[in-house]
């Protein structure tokens, strides 16, 4: 169910007063059970296993994440760290909060908060929900599993001329685009590097910030874009029963994940039991996995790929 922050409050209030709950955004998938290891083969894990994959680029509807709104906590000038001695402050008359941008005298970034990555770091990648890009599940006949998920989000930041000059240091958007000698102090170089450094502290989550690009705007400001990917691997034993229930236990002592499932040769559908999150990924409620192919954007063990969709049984890698 997709609702804005303001409307969400009224919907939740009406639900509590009426003694009912709002319906989930993600509809449950099948619960027929089935043998998800019917085509198991030796993939090098020491026990016959089956590989299942999902790619949002190929099948965008194969993963459903509840659209849970973030709490209404708008950033403001109050979030900007105290300015260093001798650095001119942002004029108090402006409503431009500048993403908490703080610059040193040499033009290096010492503070930046786009209102998103700090929350992600605070909750160790569990919140806010980030769209699932790929998933790769390997289940063995000896009741073990390994699940690797990669989540991907694109970030956009608009910094006005006020933000770039208010502290007495003028930054360029992109030295290379402006035909200037590289200094490493332009926004295209610094912003992704700063966010990458901040996200390094996430536990059990491998983060990668890439594709940074800042372009100049007519008012003297910069619009900046970059991508953030989060990769998580969980492993442990699995247990299934005849009623379509499957439990994934996490060897890292995270809570076990209970799912309803329906498996056949062409797909493996998972739904978090009682609307729980699958594999402890924030708001991931349903997932449809499929046998690997040479065009699924995932490097497959089953096909012996040496790169993504190339090598082994697939066309040779470039």
Percentage of residues in the chain with pLDDT exceeding 70? Answer: 83
Provide the number of structural domains found in the chain.
Answer: 1
Indicate whether 222 belongs to any domain: yes
- Report pLDDT for 91: 44
- 24 belongs to a structural domain: no
Cβ-count burial 138-177 (b if 16+ within 10 Å, e if not): bbbeeebbbbbbbbbbebebebbbebbebbebebbbbbee
Q: What is the pLDDT of residue 117?
A: 80
Using one digit for the tens of pLDDT, what is the confidence trace for 278-287? 998 888 999 9
pLDDT of residue 67: 72
In a domain, 177, yes or no: yes
Give the per-residue SS3 of the chain. Answer: CCCCHHHHHHHHHHHHHHCCCCCCCCCCCCCCECCCCCCCECCCCCCCEEEEEEECCCCCCCEEECCCCCCCCCCCHHHCCCCCCCCCCCCCCCCCCHHHCEECCCCCEEECCCCCHHHHHHCCCCCCCCCEEEEEEEEECCCEEEEEEEEEEEEEEEECHHHHHCCCCCCCCCCCCCCCCCCCCCHHHHHHHHHHHHHCCCCCCEEEEEEEEEEECCCCCEEEEEEEEEEEEEEEEEEECCCCEEEECCCCCCCCEEEEEEEECCEEEEEEHHHCCHHHCCCEEEEEEECCCCCCCCCCCCCCCCECCECCCCCCCC
Residue 51 within a domain: no
Q: What is the pLDDT along the chain (318 residues), one digit of tens a residue?
A: 222 332 333 333 333 334 444 445 789 998 999 999 999 999 888 899 999 999 999 999 999 988 754 444 444 444 445 555 555 554 443 445 688 888 888 888 988 887 778 888 877 777 777 889 999 999 999 999 999 999 998 999 888 888 888 788 878 899 888 788 777 889 999 999 999 998 887 877 899 999 999 999 888 889 999 999 999 999 999 999 888 999 999 888 678 999 999 999 999 999 999 988 999 888 899 999 999 999 999 999 999 999 999 999 999 999
Q: Is residue 167 part of a domain?
A: yes
Asked if residue 318 belongs to a domain, the reply is no
**pTM to 2 decimals?**
0.77
User: Is the Cβ–Cβ distance between 64 and 46 less than 8 Å?
Assistant: no
**Residue 313 has what pLDDT?**
95
Residue 116 included in any domain: yes
Q: Does 212 map to a domain?
A: yes
Task: Give pLDDT, residue 6.
Answer: 29
Q: Which domain holds residue 179?
A: 77-85+95-125+151-230
pLDDT at 82: 56
């Amino acid at each position: 169910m997709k609702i804005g922050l303001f409307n969400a409050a009224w919907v939740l209030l009406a639900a509590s007063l009426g003694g009912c709950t709002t319906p989930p955004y993600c509809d449950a998938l099948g619960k027929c059970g089935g043998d998800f290891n019917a085509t198991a083969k030796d993939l090098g894990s020491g026990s016959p296993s089956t590989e299942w994959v999902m790619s949002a680029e190929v099948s965008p509807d194969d993963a459903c994440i509840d659209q849970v709104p973030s709490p209404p906590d708008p950033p403001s000038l109050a979030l900007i760290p105290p300015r260093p001695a001798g650095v001119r402050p942002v004029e108090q008359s402006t409503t431009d909060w500048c993403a908490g941008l703080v610059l040193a005298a040499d033009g290096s970034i010492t503070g930046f908060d786009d209102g998103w990555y700090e929350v992600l770091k605070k909750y160790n990648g569990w919140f806010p929900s980030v769209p699932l890009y790929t998933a790769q599940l390997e289940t063995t006949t000896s009741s073990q599993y390994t699940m690797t998920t990669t989540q991907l989000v694109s970030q956009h930041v608009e910094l006005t001329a006020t933000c770039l000059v208010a502290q007495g240091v003028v930054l360029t958007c992109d030295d290379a685009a402006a035909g200037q000698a590289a200094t490493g102090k332009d926004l295209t170089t610094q912003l992704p590097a700063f966010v990458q450094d901040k996200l390094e502290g996430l536990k059990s989550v491998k983060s990668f910030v890439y594709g940074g690009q800042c372009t100049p705007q007519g008012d003297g400001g910069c619009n900046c874009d970059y991508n953030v990917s989060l990769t998580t691997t969980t492993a442990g034993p699995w247990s299934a029963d005849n009623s379509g229930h499957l439990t994934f236990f996490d060897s890292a002592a995270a809570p076990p994940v209970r799912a309803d499932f329906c498996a056949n040769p062409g797909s493996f559908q998972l739904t978090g039991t009682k609307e729980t999150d699958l594999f402890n990924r924030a708001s991931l409620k349903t997932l449809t996995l499929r046998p690997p192919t040479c065009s699924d954007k995932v490097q497959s063990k089953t096909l012996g790929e040496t790169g993504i969709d190339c090598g082994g049984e697939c066309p040779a890698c470039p």
